[in-house]
A = this chain, B = another copy of it.
Amino acid sequence: MFATRINRLTSSLVRDILAAASLPGIISFAGGLPASEALFKADQNVLSQLPDDIWQYGQTEGEPALRQQVALRAKAMGIDCTAAQVLIVNGSQQGIDLVSKLMVSEGTRILTESPTYLAALQVFRLFGGEFVGTQQDEQGILPEALAGCDARLAYLVPTFQNPTGRCYSKERRQALAEAFDRHSMLVFEDDPYRDLAFDSPAPEPIVSQLNKALWVYQGSFSKTLAPGLRLGYLIMHPELMLPLTRLKQAADLHSNRLSQAIVAQVLADGSLDRHVSRILPLYRQKRDFMHACLQRHLADKAHWEKPVGGLFFWLTLHAQQDTMLLMRTALAAGLAIMPGAAFDPVPQPSATLRLNFSHASMAQIEQGVCLLAKLLD
C-alpha cells in the first residue's frame, strides 16, 4: 500500500517516551529540551522591527541578511566560506532530511559514530541507508577506520556529542580531516552544541580542515536561542549548493521568514552572544549539580564522564542490565530516561543510558537521580 520506506520508519518507542515525558508529574531526563528559563523570547522591541516584506514568498536559500550573519560567524570559527554557501533550514532535522535526499538511497553505506544522534539514524534508515561498523576510542572515530571503508557519507557530531557529550581533540580532527581528504568521503558535520561549552571553547570544526573532500556543516539556533523558531543552517562545499537548494525548494520552498528576520536581527545586534553568556552559567550549574547527585547516589552503580559541553550525561551501568527494560520501569515510577540502544546504529541490548540535565529543575534533578538509584537497587 505505502512506499517500502514506510516499513523502515522507526517504531514509536522514542515518540512514546517523549510523549510520556511531557505528562504532568513525570520528571524528564529523556528529551533534549532547553530549560524554559534559557529560551530566547523575542520581545516587542524585536517584533516591532520585523521588515515589512517578510509576508511574501522569500528566497529558497534564506534571507540574505541572515545568510551573511551566519557566514561571518562561521568564518570566526574557522570555516572559510561566504554567504553564497549558506542554506537556511528549519532546524537541524531538516538539514538531515535534505542531506539524506542528496546522498542516501537503498543500501547507501554511512559511517557514523556509535552511539549517535537517534533522529539522524531514523532519517538515514528511512531513505534506506545502512551503517558501517567502525573503530572508535573515547575521542571518537579513528582515522584508520576509513581505510577500506565503503561508506559514501560520514555523519559526525564531533563537538559535545549527543548522546555521549564527547568532544574530539584538535589533533584527532586534523587527522580525520586528512583521512577524509585521502578517501574523498563526503563529511556531514552536525554541530548544534558548539556554543554550549562549559569549560573551554571547542576546537575548530573538522570541515574547516578539509582540502579535497566535499562537506556539509550544520548549525542550529534551537539550543542557543529557541527551538520554536525552527531555524538552523547548512554551510557547504560550493559544489553542493545547487542540488541542496533545489531539494530545499522541493521540500517547502523556503524557511519561515518571521523566524529568519528575528534571528538575523538577534545576530546582527549581538543579542545571541549576550544570550549565550547568560545561559551558560545556568547550564554549567545544572551540569555540576547533576554530576554531584550522580556521584552521591550512583557512583557504585555506573560510570560516566562529566560532559564539557552540550546537554547530556552518558552513563554505563556496572551491571549488565538492559536499559530498555529500566526505561519502562522508570517511566512507571515517574521518571523518563533514554535507553542507550536508541542511539545505536545497530540496536542491541545495552547497559547505557542518556540523561538530559538542561530541562529539569534542580529539585527534579535531585529527585530523579535518587529515584534512578532506588530503581537500580
Contact = CB atoms under 8 A, between A and B. Distances in A.
A253 B228 CA distance: 10
A103 B119 CA distance: 22
B250 A230 contact: no
A130 B94 CA distance: 26
Q: This chain: how many copies in the complex?
A: 2
A233 interface: no
A229 interface: yes
Interface string A241-255: 011001101111111
Nearest to A232: B252
Given A6-B102, A9-B250, A58 B228 contact: yes
Contacts of A316: none
A299 to B, nearest CB: 32
Contacts of A377: none
Interface in A158-205: none
Contact of A33 (B5, B57, B101, B226): B57
A3 B350 CA distance: 33
Interface string A75-92: 000000000000001110
Interface string A101-143: 1111100100000000001001100110000000000000000
Interface residues of A, number: 67
A277 B2 CA distance: 40
Interface in A240-294: 242-243, 246-247, 249-259, 262
A6 B152 CA distance: 15
Contacts of A296: none
Given A102-B2, A253-B230, A9 B52 contact: no
Interface of A: 1-6, 9-10, 12, 15, 31, 33-34, 36, 39-41, 44, 47-48, 50, 52, 54-58, 89-91, 93-94, 97, 101-105, 108, 119, 122-123, 126-127, 152, 222, 226-230, 242-243, 246-247, 249-259, 262
7 contacts: A3-B101, A5-B101, A9-B243, A33-B57, A55-B228, A126-B247, A227-B253
Given A12-B242, A230-B256, 19 more contacts: A3-B102, A3-B108, A6-B243, A9-B247, A9-B250, A31-B57, A33-B57, A36-B56, A40-B55, A55-B228, A56-B228, A90-B255, A91-B253, A93-B251, A97-B250, A230-B252, A251-B251, A258-B258, A258-B262
